[in-house]
């Protein structure tokens, strides 16, 4: 199968391939499920398993229709802003980005029994688990990035296309798990895209009951603890997980308990819970690849049944053929090239916020750079010169701003004046320093508002030795604007910093082939 097959219509498929397609109703004609009005969803843990096995137990056209009828779907992106799709590589291949969402819905008796918290029955669900799965363009590697549920983010304005209800942007930063309450999973997608600048092709969402049914169907996933654990404190907080030291297969409700455990793992934070989820997910992938019992047709049929019934997806994945094509793409990656990571963050009270390293991690995903550092060396690409001719230097108006401040260092006084003087010496007589604005930019950048000024912006950059990759189009400026960044705090010659493609916090990442990983148990929760 070619790289583009997940974006094209599969032969005989009613809704096309597994790429992003216009929504509406799927083959089954079922209405979209929405938080607060019908079945909602939980737990990423079943999602990768679902796409790896769904479609392999087909039993004729009627059964195919039946499985399609199980699948629920919702709109992909409810935000106003769209992020451009990544540029294909030299072979014409593009990466795939899939947001895995788990909700804490208590909208059914089964979800209420599994999730507890009776006072929350029927309330809008939250996106308590969020993981971005990035499949490289050449299908050689996979990266999975978790965002803690209490990460402080700005949720953008989202509009429900069903009834045109508008959910205003959040008033300041709020916990990211609230995004699901702003119209559905499409707002969670919009929130991720706004924060990361990563184009998201699909989402997959599962609820509490879906985790249990899928875990039962696969027959158990091995997990490890370094001591006896009982996740329950004196106030009754905890998942209820009780397990002896060592490695044990978990399924059903115990699998859900593992994925929800915070009290008892390491420091009791959501970061420790994400680590346990990574361990479960990588173990699950290994189990699916190695477990010979999955060749049993009856077992595969049950897996297909449970998988399709557990999922809510975007319209681009709303039938079995599309999911099957996606599963074929995911199967191409060896577990040794799967990297599980958590977004770098720092505490803000009891919550967290992204750090500068988080942007570095997002950039690696945007640029399709493997987190394990094992990419083949790519040929150096020539910088693209604009087709728009530049005006004469003396006719180009340039505004220079001081962006040399950082989290640890204050802005360098007079830096905008100094660089303005350099431009004027180069013949840019209309260059002026903006004394009213102090910014914080890691790297020096030249911004321009529209295509007809791109050539002028590149000419300004070239005159100072700034690489053309640092010339960016932006609606935040009204003319050519040079922001002197923290990488040019002194001197008259700009030296572009060497590009660092190393993954931040690499020592905390989990490799998909690591079957020795074991969760550390907090001594206060052992028995």
300 vs 479 pLDDT, higher one: 479
pTM of the model as a whole = 0.73
- The pLDDT of residue 208: 66
- The pLDDT of residue 295: 58
> Would you say 86 and 366 are in contact if contact means Cβ atoms under 8 Å apart?
yes
- The pLDDT of residue 47: 55
- The pLDDT of residue 103: 81
User: What end-to-end distance do the CA atoms of the chain give, in Å?
Assistant: 52
Is 283 strand, coil or helix? helix
Nearest to 125 by CA among 110, 138, 115, 136: 115
Q: What is the mean pLDDT of residues 193-210?
A: 89
Q: What is the mean pLDDT of residues 275-299?
A: 77
**pLDDT score of 24 more than 50:** no
Nearest to 217 by CA among 288, 320, 323: 288
Give the least confident one: 29-43, 323-337, 344-358.
29-43
Our measurement of the distance from residue 366's CA atom to the centroid of its chain's CA atoms, rounded to an integer in Å, reads: 10
**pLDDT score of 6 more than 60:** no
Sequence-ordered list of residues with C-beta below 8 angstroms from that of 515, at least 6 positions apart, any chain:
222, 283, 286
Q: What is the mean pLDDT of residues 298-323?
A: 85
Residue 517: φ, ψ to 5°? -65, 140
As a dihedral over the C-alpha atoms of residue 43, residue 48, residue 52, residue 53, rounded to 10 degrees, the angle is: -10
Helix (H) or strand (E) holding 141: none
């Amino acid at each position: 199968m070619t790289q583009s097959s997940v974006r094209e219509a599969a032969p005989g498929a009613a809704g096309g391939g597994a790429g992003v397609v216009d929504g509406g109703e799927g083959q089954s004609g079922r209405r979209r499920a929405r938080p607060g009005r019908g079945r909602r969803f939980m737990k990423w843990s079943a999602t990768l398993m679902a796409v790896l096995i769904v479609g392999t137990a087909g039993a004729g056209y009627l059964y195919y229709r039946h499985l399609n009828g199980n699948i629920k779907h919702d709109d992909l992106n409810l935000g106003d802003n769209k992020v451009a799709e990544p540029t294909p590589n030299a072979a014409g291949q593009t990466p795939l980005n899939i947001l895995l969402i788990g909700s804490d819905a208590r909208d059914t008796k089964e979800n209420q029994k599994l999730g507890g918290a009776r006072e929350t029955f029927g309330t809008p669900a939250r996106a308590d688990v969020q993981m971005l799965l990035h499949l490289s363009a050449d299908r050689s590697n996979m990266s999975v990035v978790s965002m803690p549920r209490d990460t402080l983010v700005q949720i953008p304005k989202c509009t429900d296309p069903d009834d045109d209800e508008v959910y205003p942007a959040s008033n300041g930063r709020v916990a990211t798990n609230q995004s699901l309450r702003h119209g559905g999973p499409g707002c969670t997608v919009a929130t991720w895209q706004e924060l990361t600048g990563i184009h998201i092709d699909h989402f997959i969402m599962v609820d509490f009951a879906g985790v249990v049914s899928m875990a039962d169907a696969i027959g158990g996933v091995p997990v490890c603890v370094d001591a006896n654990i009982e996740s329950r404190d004196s106030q009754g907080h905890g998942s209820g997980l009780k397990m002896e030291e060592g490695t044990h297969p978990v399924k059903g409700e115990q699998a859900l308990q593992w994925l929800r455990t915070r009290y008892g793992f390491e420091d009791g934070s959501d970061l420790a819970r994400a680590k346990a989820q990574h361990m479960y997910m990588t173990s699950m992938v290994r189990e699916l690849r190695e477990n010979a019992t999955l060749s049993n047709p009856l077992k595969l049929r049950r897996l297909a049944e449970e998988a399709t019934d557990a999922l809510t997806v975007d319209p681009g994945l709303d039938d079995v053929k599309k999911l099957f094509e996606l599963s074929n793409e995911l199967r191409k990656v060896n577990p040794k090239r799967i990297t599980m990571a958590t977004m770098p963050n720092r505490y803000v009270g009891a919550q967290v916020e992204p750090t500068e390293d988080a942007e570095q991690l997002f950039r690696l995903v945007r640029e399709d750079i493997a987190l394990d550092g094992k990419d083949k060396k790519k040929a150096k690409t020539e910088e693209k010169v604009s087709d728009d001719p530049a005006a004469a230097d003396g006719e180009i108006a340039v505004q220079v701003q001081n962006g040399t401040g950082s989290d640890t260092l204050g802005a360098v006084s007079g830096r905008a004046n100094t660089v303005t003087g350099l431009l004027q010496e180069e013949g840019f007589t209309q260059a002026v320093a903006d004394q009213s604005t102090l910014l914080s930019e890691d790297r020096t950048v030249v911004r321009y508002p529209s295509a007809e000024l791109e050539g002028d912006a590149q000419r300004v950059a070239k005159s100072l030795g700034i690489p053309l990759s640092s010339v960016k189009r932006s609606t935040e400026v009204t003319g050519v604007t040079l922001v002197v960044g923290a990488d040019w705090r002194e001197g008259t010659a700009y030296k572009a910093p060497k590009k660092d493609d190393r993954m931040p916090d690499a020592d905390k990442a989990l490799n998909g082939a690591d079957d020795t990983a074991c969760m550390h148990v907090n001594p206060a929760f052992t028995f």
